[in-house]
A and B are shown apart, each in its own frame.
Chain A
Amino acid sequence: MQRTFQALLAVVLLLVASGVAQTTKSAPAKEELLTSPGEVGRYGGRLVVSHRAEAKTLNPVTAVDRPSREVLYRMHADLIHINRATQRTEPALAQSWTVSGDGRQYRLRLRRGIRFSDGQPFDADDVVFSFQVYLDEQVHSWQRDLLIAHGQAITVRKLDPYTVQINLAQPDAAAERLFDGVAILPKHLLEKPYQDGTLAQTWGVTTPPEQIVGLGPFRLKKYAPGQQITLGKNPYYWKADAKGNRLPYLDEITFLVVASEDAEIIRFQAGDTDIINRLSADNYALLAKDQQTRGYAVQDLGPGLEYNFLLFNMNDDTAGRLPEIARKQNWFREVKFRQAISAAIDRAGIIRLVYQGRATALWTHVTPGNKLWIDSRIPQPPQSQGRARELLQAAGFTWNQEGKLVDHNGQAVEFSILTSSSNNQRTQIANIIQQDLAKLGMQVSVVPLEFRAFVQRITQTHEYEAAVMGLVSGDADPNPEMSIWMSTGVTHLWNLSEKNPATPWESELDRLMQQQVVTLNYQARKKLYDRVQEIVAEQLPILCVASPNILVAGKKGLGNFRPAILDPYTLHNAEELFWKQK
């Protein structure tokens, strides 16, 4: 009896205490740590990871390059996080949230009593400030595009120091996922530069480390230009393990700049680095051979979210400007021509030769790695030269005496496939397709181009005939795919210049994609997205070929090392990683 009373008293006292904390900001509330479900580890040690290029900035608002984002991901935290293993959302800085019935209003309860890496407290003002920055047109942040749905930005309002309300113009089925990776910024440091209009210039690579502050597990320790970035432990991080030990376990993470994948392999074999984030199939085989003796382990995580495809130029701004390409586009726009090529591609051969079997053949853009959204009923016809010939014949193509394919004007079918010379796999895919199409009497040449020149031709000048390229979905949800399938989307690669849908199926894609965003029921939404996949498989705006498996390698003895198929594959749980013995 007495014990119950004591417990009750304690609860009452706690309530009073928290009530006091709410009214006066200076006395921070009790720290609400998040308990991490991983294995309980031990403190200490250092992790070395390699990077292909140097981080260009440490400013989350302007960072668009991959290395910068990889580093920033460790230094900052988001409100709602996508768990890389389950692919579902989970609480982060927002401890919990509620959604209104119409799906347009979110109320987020923030974690109390936690601090930035410089020891300053975090509250709703920081959240409101962060979104104000990201949504400000003058700032030109990349996050702005994500946070604008249907042309209208979300609004963020502070209700009390630990509650914010977020309103959307229209319901969004994946609204929670929007917040993943959107770093919450320290208002106390960035408000002044923001008001002065110098925010884009702050937090560059020359800023003293102690001035760069975030809510992530690590904070900047040292930046050696051209060589490495070292992050140190954030002593105020808001996660703890099951025993209540504050995370992270590691003292340091070092990002080494290593120029090529082969160099990364050599450094890893030599023991200079501890993790390789992404391996090609041939380097995987190379490392697998001596993994027992060298004390590391390679892992094949199965298909990821990357899809590689053959793209035909169907842009309609080529007429007059690029007559040669415009002439060939009459073939490319013919769906039977694209279907014939898809039928002729030896996907099984590509999987075997290019990826050594560590990939999955694709007939549409959704990969088997995306378990929630893949439409498994999409037909997967094997390679068939006969079917390809039938389709070409039906489209009015014939063969001349030398066996060359000619169109109805008697013009020989010849075109070139661009690839990026920095991506060996895609060049190999193009070489195999080239050979498959040569059997159909098409004269195809493969042209590897330097990456920037390649991207410029695809996205700006549209001076190409066909290309092999790949895209990686950032998330398993259909929403990030909006920019590809919407006819006005910025990555609507096959026809970037169109104002209105050029074909009936493109308008159907527009309609379906718009509808799936506002459909909250998973089953109904899945049905819509299944239809999208069906159209892509049938109309072939892009000819999907293969999805490589996610292959990673890590040194043995690294605890809680649980790579996932979502980007960033290995370091998503950097705070939990620990060395079992050292």
Chain B
Amino acid sequence: MTRKRTPRVVILVLGLMYGAVLFAGFCAPYDPVEQDRDHPFAPPTRFRLMDAEGRFHFRPFVYAWTSRAGIFAEYQADRARPLPLRVFVRGSEYKLLGLLACNRHLFGLDTPGRIALLGTDGYGRDQFSRLLWGGRISLLAGLIAATLSLSIGTLIGVASGYFGGLADDLLMRLAELFLAMPWLYLLFAVRAFLPLRISPSTAFLLLVVVIGTVGWARPARLVRGVVLSAKERTYVLAARGFGGSNLYVVRRHILPQTLGVLLTQGAILVPQYILAEVTLSFLGLGVGEPAPSWGNMLGALQRYQVLSSYWWMLAPGLALIPVFWGYHVLADFLHERLEFGR
């Protein structure tokens, strides 16, 4: 069997996406909640190199949008005013990685010009900035929730497989119970018990904890299977025969065996949990306005007119495609490399 090559493109794409959302403050030209009420539903700005007189510019520029008088959300490019693209411009304040106060942005225009790479939403907020900030919530929620799920799953799976007997029976029946749980309704119920007004960070934390703790059963069962076979291996029996403690045996010989399964599971769970966050926020149960998340951004499409008139509002949905593709290729690769390679 030929070994699969490392999917470099995928790792690059995912790396870029995570990098962009981690440094959202820097990469995004504007504050994601800032409303530009004169430009609702403005279409994406086009970069140009040739101006109206046919002259070539080395520095890309854009034309400002001017709204047509009396008509909602219809714009014309103002050809008299080319606005050159600038890099490292000063703009709104943000905290780099949540720590460093900063006001430089990767790109932008001289004020008062505004650039909208992916257009604007119904409040005139920059869709590109919201996509990055929203991605931070959606992508990180997936990652953190998956880590949480895997940790709980490993703990329970190892305990169940290693000790066997009554503990195994109890834990696995519990896992089945969790698998059978209609988790969407569970989340509805959990949200209903919480106070009305929770800050976006609390909402985020809550979402991650709920999604993460609900999903431990599958990894737990998989880990248990690996542990069951691993604990009968001769070297494990030898280690125990030499008087190795349970903790030592698990840490030294059993856990390393589960790594392949865990990483593969992780690559499968992350996109699943991203989707869970998107679903919940879409339904208004996740992170609330004005803070962006891909789910609540897509929520705007619940209005038929928005869905049928402004295609750029679909951007968060489109952004999900490379993420899903990336993770699935990655899971495939890990599965082959780490599990069959064993």
Contacts and interface: CB of A to CB of B under 8 A. Distances in A.
A237 to B, nearest CB: 38
Question: For the side of the interface on A, what is the size category?
Answer: 20 to 34
Please classify the interface of chain A as helix (H, G, I), strand (E, B), loop, or mixed, using the class held by over half of its residues. Answer: helix
Nearest to A262: B304
A283 B72 contact: no
A434 B290 contact: yes
A262 B73 contact: no
B290 to A, nearest CB: 6
Contacts of A445: 197, 199, 288
Contacts of B309: 285-286
A186 interface: no
A93 interface: no
Interface in A142-170: none
Given A353-B123, A428-B122, A282 B306 contact: yes
Contact of B122 (A262, A266, A353, A438): A353
Interface stretch (A243-251, A416-424, A520-528, A534-542): A416-424
Interface string B21-41: 000000000000101011010
Nearest to B291: A445
Interface in B265-318: 284, 288-290, 303-306, 308-309
B196 A418 contact: yes
Nearest to A448: B284
Interface in B34-74: 35, 37-38, 40, 70, 72-73
A438 B35 CA distance: 12
Nearest to A281: B72
B289 A266 contact: no
A353 B33 contact: no
Contacts of B308: 286
B124 interface: yes
Contact of B37 (A286, A346, A449): A346
Contact of A446 (B37, B199, B288, B306): B288
Contact of A353 (B37, B284, B303): B37
A104 to B, nearest CB: 50
A431 B304 contact: no
A339 interface: no
A352 B288 contact: no
A122 to B, nearest CB: 46
A205 interface: no
Contact of B305 (A286, A346, A448): A286
- Counting chain A CB atoms within 10 Å of each CB, which of B38, B122, B197 scores highest? B197
Interface in A421-460: 421, 424, 428, 431-432, 434-435, 438, 445-449
A435 B124 contact: no
Contacts of A449: 196
Contacts of B72: 281, 285, 352, 356-357
Contacts of B196: 416, 418, 447, 449
A349 interface: yes
A301 to B, nearest CB: 18
Interface in A333-372: 346, 349, 352-353, 356-357
Interface string A263-291: 00110000000000000011101100000
Contacts of A357: 70, 72
Contact of A356 (B33, B73, B199, B289): B73
A447 B197 contact: yes
Nearest to B306: A282
A286 B123 contact: no
A283 B304 contact: yes
A285 B305 contact: yes
Contacts of B306: 282
Contacts of B73: 356
A356 B37 CA distance: 11
Contact of A435 (B33, B197, B304, B305): B33
B37 A352 contact: yes
A421 B284 contact: yes
B288 A435 contact: no
Interface string B123-137: 110000000000000
A266 B303 CA distance: 12
B290 A424 contact: no
B288 A447 contact: yes
B70 A286 contact: no
Contact of B303 (A262, A421, A448): A262
Nearest to A264: B304
B120 to A, nearest CB: 11
A357 B308 CA distance: 20
A448 B191 CA distance: 13
Contacts of A349: 35, 37
Given A282-B303, A424-B303, A445-B197, 18 more contacts: A282-B306, A283-B305, A285-B309, A352-B38, A352-B40, A352-B72, A356-B73, A357-B70, A421-B284, A431-B290, A432-B35, A434-B289, A435-B33, A435-B290, A438-B33, A446-B290, A447-B196, A448-B284
Interface of B: 33, 35, 37-38, 40, 70, 72-73, 122-124, 196-197, 199, 284, 288-290, 303-306, 308-309
12 contacts: A281-B72, A282-B306, A285-B309, A286-B304, A286-B308, A352-B38, A424-B303, A428-B123, A431-B123, A434-B290, A438-B33, A447-B197
